[in-house]
Structure formats: C-alpha cells, structure tokens
A and B are shown apart, each in its own frame.
Chain A
Amino acid sequence: MILSVRDLAVRFATDGGVVRAVDGVSFDLDEGEILAIVGESGSGKSVTAQTLLGLTRAPNATITGSVEFDGQDLIELDDERFREIRGKRIAMIFQDPMTSLNPVYRVGHQIVEMIRAHGKVSKKDAQDKAVELLRSVGIPNPERRVQDYPHEFSGGMRQRVMIAMALALDPDVLIADEPTTALDVTVQAQILRLLDQLNRERGLAVVLITHDLGVVAEIADRVAVMYAGQIVEDATLEDIFYDPQHPYTWGLLGSLPRLDQPRPARLAQIAGSPPSLLNPPAGCRFAARCPHEFDKCSQPPPLDGDRCWLDPADKRRLRDVDGHIGLRKDVAS
C-alpha cells in the first residue's frame, strides 16, 4: 500500500457558512494500482485529489484526517517538507491542459524549472531530460518542440506535456484530476492509453478523478464512487459494473447511454439534485433522491463497505427489478 487516506475531511469557511466539501473519506492506493474516484460535479472528488498534494491549504480551509504516504502523514507535514514531495514523489495533472501551463514560458523551461526545483541539475542536463520526457509521452520532434510555447500545442499535446512534466522526477503516485474532460474523444482515448502504458511500464500508481464511467471502464483497477463529499462505494472495476451495491451507483450506471439496448426516448437520470454541503443531512445523503429509501435511511449509514442500509439480498432484488442496472456480463466484454 502506497497511499492510505483515513477519514479525510476538508471544510471551507465561506460567507454562507462552512462548506463540508469532503467529509470523512477513506481509501487505500496500492503500488501500481489505478484507482478511479468518480462522482458528479461538486461531489468533492477534485478537492480530495488536490488535498492529497496539499493544494487546498488556505486560510479558510480546515483539513482533518490523515493521508499516510511513505511513513508520514501528509496532512501534518509543514509546507517546506510537503514541497519536496510535490512533483517528486506525488505528481499531478489537471483537467484543462489549455490553462494549466504558463502561457509565457516555453514548455521546456517549465519542465526544467521543475527538475531544478528538486535537486542540483545543470540547465543543460535538465533540458536534455525534458526532450527525453517529451519523446517518452509521444510528442513528435521533441528537440524542436521543447522550445515552443504552450499555445503552439494542441489540447491533447498539451496534456502530454503535462504528463511529461509530471513524470520528470519519476514519482510513485500520479494524481490525474479529470485529465481527459477537456479533450475530444479520440484524443481522450490516446491520453488514457498513455496513462495505462505508464502504469504498466513504470508501475506508476494513479488516482484518476473523473465523472466519466467510460474512462473508468477503460483503465481503472478499482473504483471509489463519491457522493456529496463521501465515498459511498469502493469496489473493484468488475464489481462496480457487474455487482454495484449502492443505489447511487445504480443510478450512475443507469444513466449511461447503452449501445446494447434499444435507444430510449430520453436518457435516464437520477431525479433531484445533491444536498447542500453547507448543511448536509445527518442520515444517508442520497436518501432524498433514492427510489428505495426506507425508515433506516435517516440514520448515518454503515461505514464498512458501501454506505447503504439495504441488506444484500434486497439490493440484488431491487437492482434487478430496476432492470437497467449493471451491465450484463455476456454482452459487455
């Protein structure tokens, strides 16, 4: 196990009150594993990811819980020690490659700058390394491209630059915050393939934040489903798609357009909207939107396994009655 998150909570003080953006999240990341954290906008998945790198530290933020990495608790780490981990041990790439690179510096410089921030390396060596990195992520003509500015790259190429930069110091963990959301579908597939390849060849552990179950199915080993600041279900890729336990996961899967079934008049959706994180309900946070809500749901749901009060037999029955939940194994391959 390389990264162990326990009871992580991130609260932001705002004018409207305290927002509990992340509220008691726990998960583990194994060496060489790709863990996908999925959820809709505002579910706290990006805040979780950024907190792993200390990027949510701010005067108005309260961060509690623990993030165990390499024998130390990152939450307790002071800024200077944390800086040594950022980029070097845990690297991150972001959603929008268009805005994630500084427009006024050459991409080579931006990679060199990172290499040199973490050790005494000559400019020349760092520059050579940058060329190699660009080559390794599949950027053609890296010797020339290293001198280009970010705006001279396409979106997909820019994301490759971001990935090259993230790999510069051979980190143990890569946090990818919606890395394909801003890209078009064919480029998405290329970037995912690249991440998958890096995972297999370098044993790079990846935390992949996404709202796209298609992306998840493509490369994840394990999936944590987040809803309203909590993880409601954490299971293997197989189980999430073929044996989902939480009604919210059913809803997510049910709202996927299916090629193996007749086209519906309109896409299925989960009725209602998530609760306010200013003052979330004490019981199950999904209860208000759940078609299977019953009296127990007003109490805080169990913390082991999925956060749902239904008993397993009921779940299987209800899921099958719903009819549109879970991909049939014989059809999906």
Chain B
Amino acid sequence: MLRFVARRLTGMIAVLFAISVIVFLIFNVIPNSNPAIRIAGKNANPELIARVSADLGLDQPLWVQYLTLMKKIFTGTLTSYASAQNVTDQIWRGLPATLSLTIGAAVLWMVLAVVFGYLSAIHSGRFTDRALTILSLVGISMPVFWLAAILLYFFTFKVQLFPTSSYVPLTTDPLRWASHLILPWLTLAVLYVGFYSRVLRSNMLDVMNEDYVRTARAKGLPERQVRIRHVLRNSMIPIVTLFGLDFGAVVGGGAILTETVFNINGVGLYAGRAIGSLDLPPLVGVTIFGAFFIVFFNTVVDILYAFLDPRIRLGEAAAA
C-alpha cells in the first residue's frame, strides 16, 4: 500500500512538471512579438518592458527563463506588473472564499446526486424516475451565468430571501457566511447534480443485475440493506473518480463564472479580472494553482480508489 501511494505521488510530481513546462511555453515562448510586452500588461511603457525582461531573464536561454519563472512561483515573488500585486498573495487571499464556495457546493452536489440517483434507480421507469430525469437534464442544460442571474433576481431582488452577493468570511459570522453562499452553492452544484445523478442511476441499474445482489437477497437481507450496502456502495466507485476530477477542476478555476456573477472574492474572480485586463502573471499563477489541484485530487482519488475497491490493491501487489 505504501509503495502504491509513493508511486502515485511520484507520478503526480512528474505530471505537474510537465504542466509547468507547457504553461511556461504558452506564456513565455509562443512567438508573437516580445513576451515582455505581453507580460507587462496594458500600461506597458519602455521602462516597464525593460524591467520585465530583466526580471524574467528573457534574454537568457529558455531553460534559464523556465527556472526563473518557477523560482518566482515557488518563492511567491511573482507579481503582476499591471496592478503591482503579488500573485501568490492574491491567490492565498482568494483561497478561503473559493474553498468555501467549492467545498460547500461539492457537499451539496454529492448529497443531492446520490439521493436523486438512488431514487431514480429504484423507481426506474416510473414517475419519480421520469421526473428526476427531466430535472437533471434541465440542470445539465442551464448555463451557469444564466442560472446565477435568475437566482439572484428572484431570491435577492424579488423575494429578498438571501442577502445580495459578496463573501463573508466564515470566521466573521458563520450564519452570514452560509446565507451569502447558498445561492452560489446551488448554482455551482446544479450542473453536477444533474450529471452525477444520471451516472449513478445507470451504475445502479447495472449493479442491480449483478449476481452478488441476487446473493444478498437470497441471504434474506432487508431490501433497504441490499440497495444501500450492496447496490449503492458498489455503484459509487465510478462516481468517486468523477468527483475527484471535477472537484479539482472546480477549485482550480471552474468556479470563475459563479464567483464573478456573485461577486465572491475568490481565486476565480481574481483569474476572471486578470483575463479581463489581459494581465498575464496572475494567469500563470492561477493556471499552475489550478493544475496542482486537479492533479492533486486525481492522486487522492487514485489512492482512495484502492480503499473502495480491494481488487485494485491486489492488482498493485501483483504488479509490485
């Protein structure tokens, strides 16, 4: 097991290295005039461009440029030339809001997806299933920015059930933290609830035909226990994989739209503003940050998988 974890972690580092090289190539090397002009931002003047060139060693060989960039990222000294803000600081500052948004949304989407998928599967073909199918297709089809705007309009402007947007730190006031986040959580979760409940439903319908489910019934287990301990438990394995991928992606930048519409001062909003003002250093930082989360959660899922499905552990032992 330890070997398995070690190997996954090594793989993770290799992938991150590859990503950092690609990011470097995209931002610094793609031939299109002088990269220093792009990096300097909209208000570039000759002095600033010269400073950028010197800072990033753009007259040096490529590998030195790469190392310089990485050094800046890892020592937290990458700064935006347009806003004169330290990129790492900004990401750190945005992280609590982003994590509040994404973790809350993730809990919501997993719980709802499991409930809906489960109900859909056990009532397969009947009214509940059809109704949930339509609901989830609607959920999948609604664009985030549209849904967010509609929710804001109805629940904060018309009904005034929830406060208007922006973020209140959890440590300041947990209640206000939650009430400010409910609509963003919903917005972010809807797409995934729709998608995951569909996947879970079809997994469960497959698993219901497995021999071991028949065995569980023949053992005289209560139907609920058969459905939850045997059908649902085994159907969750692929869902966990999906969750790892999606959660990583959402933390690493997938919440840009939601954060922007609800004005939540998180990493996504920071990235969104950087895109809006064509400010490259924050984008480099956020891209690396996002890639890190995606790869990290993938690795976590890989390791978790071995706990969920004992057959994988054996496969590893045999291969090792």
Contact = CB atoms under 8 A, between A and B. Distances in A.
Judged by DSSP, the binding face of B is: helix
A91 B218 contact: yes
B230 A117 contact: no
User: Interface centre among A91, A100, A162, by most B CB within 10 Å?
Assistant: A100
A322 interface: no
Interface in A99-117: 99-104, 113-114, 117
A100 B230 CA distance: 12
A92 B220 CA distance: 10
Contacts of B223: 79, 83
B314 interface: yes
Contact of A83 (B211, B220, B230, B314): B220
A88 B219 CA distance: 8
Contacts of A103: 212, 234, 309-311
Contact of A118 (B216, B217, B220, B229): B220
Given A103-B310, A103-B311, A87 B211 contact: no
Nearest to A53: B218
Interface bin, chain B: 20 to 34
A87 B311 contact: no
Interface string A181-214: 0000000000000000000000000000000000
B220 A101 contact: no
B319 to A, nearest CB: 15
A86 B217 contact: yes
A85 interface: yes
A55 B212 contact: no
A69 interface: no
B214 interface: yes
A186 to B, nearest CB: 24
Interface in B203-262: 210-212, 214-223, 225, 229-230, 233-234, 237
B218 A151 contact: no
B212 A101 contact: yes
Contacts of B237: 104
Nearest to B212: A102
Interface string A141-170: 000000001011000000000100100000
User: Interface centre among B212, B220, B221, by most A CB within 10 Å?
Assistant: B220
B233 A114 contact: no
B274 to A, nearest CB: 45
Contacts of A83: 220-223
A165 B219 contact: yes
Contact of B234 (A86, A102, A162, A165): A102
A92 B311 contact: no
A104 B232 CA distance: 12
A100 B215 contact: yes
Contacts of A86: 217-220
B308 interface: yes
Interface in A28-54: 50, 53
A87 B230 CA distance: 17
A248 interface: no
Nearest to B207: A102
A152 B218 CA distance: 23
B212 A88 contact: no
Given A55-B214, A103-B212, A114 B220 contact: yes
B310 A149 contact: yes
A84 interface: yes
Contacts of B314: 149, 151-152
**Among all A-B residue pairs, the 3 with the closest Cβ atoms:** A87-B220, A86-B220, A99-B211
25 contacts: A79-B223, A85-B220, A87-B218, A87-B221, A91-B218, A92-B218, A94-B215, A100-B211, A101-B212, A102-B212, A102-B215, A102-B234, A103-B309, A104-B234, A104-B237, A104-B309, A113-B225, A114-B219, A114-B220, A117-B219, A117-B220, A117-B225, A151-B310, A151-B311, A151-B314
Given A85-B220, A104-B237, 20 more contacts: A55-B218, A83-B220, A92-B218, A94-B211, A94-B218, A99-B211, A100-B211, A101-B212, A101-B215, A102-B212, A102-B234, A103-B212, A103-B311, A113-B225, A114-B219, A117-B222, A117-B225, A118-B220, A151-B310, A151-B314
